[in-house]
Structure 1
């Protein structure tokens, strides 16, 4: 599915353990991925959150506690979304990042705990003296 415009896709459930979205829709203007479930629950995940919590080894690190803090991702969007079998989505970001598969379980976890993930991300940025702003647009408080 191409993410150049708003896109909607329908998926069928695979296992009761993995809440599988019945609807996936990318809101390009808002830079949000909407996940709708058979239960009626709907979540909108900011693309920035999806990017900074990418399940790829590049972001999570190659084992242990070596996660790489992602900075400057405030304006990141999606170029493409592809389904990986019946268990995951592969998100292609407009900053070139496209490794890592977002399993249904992982997407549901991000959706249902997004405020905790977001606050953790902001705390890590602050501790590192880093910013959400893309390089070259760093704002400093005077």
Structure 2
């Protein structure tokens, strides 16, 4: 029996500029619509993640952020360019899939962190 793919691969990626959502369909049938703001505040870049657990940098004021470009990186990731100038994170297929699967949990965690910091999405 052949080994399963460790990560589902995207079969279609569509940017919806009006609703500011990135729609991704994977080869296992999963389909996610990820808001630009969600992708921006969960960027895998060092600028957002910090350099180690506990050093994450809370992203604020990103409610209206949009994606201006999508650039495939090899066969494993997507570089997303945001209109606030952020473009340094590489979103692997595995990470995008994880962001889709865990959207509700990750988004609530973000909102909780914003509230705890007295910060705003605006």
Give your verdict on TM over 0.5. Answer: yes
| Residue of structure 2 equivalent to 1:122 | 111
Question: Where does the alignment leave 5 or more consecutive residues of structure 2 unmatched?
Answer: none
TM-score normalised by structure 1 residue count: 0.81
Bigger radius of gyration among the two: 1
2:94 is paired with a residue whose SS is helix
Q: Once superposed, which parts of structure 1, at least 4 consecutive aligned residues long, lie more than 4 Å away?
A: none
Q: Which of 51, 68, 73 in structure 2 is aligned with 1:62?
A: 51
| Residue of structure 1 equivalent to 2:96 | 107
1:132 pairs with 2:121: yes
Count of aligned pairs: 119
CA RMSD of aligned residues (A): 1.0
Q: Which of 10, 16, 19 in structure 1 is aligned with 2:8?
A: 19
Question: Where does the alignment leave 5 or more consecutive residues of structure 1 unmatched?
Answer: 1-14, 134-142
1:72 pairs with 2:61: yes
Structure 2: how far apart are the matches of 1:34 and 1:56?
21
TM-score normalised by structure 2 residue count: 0.94
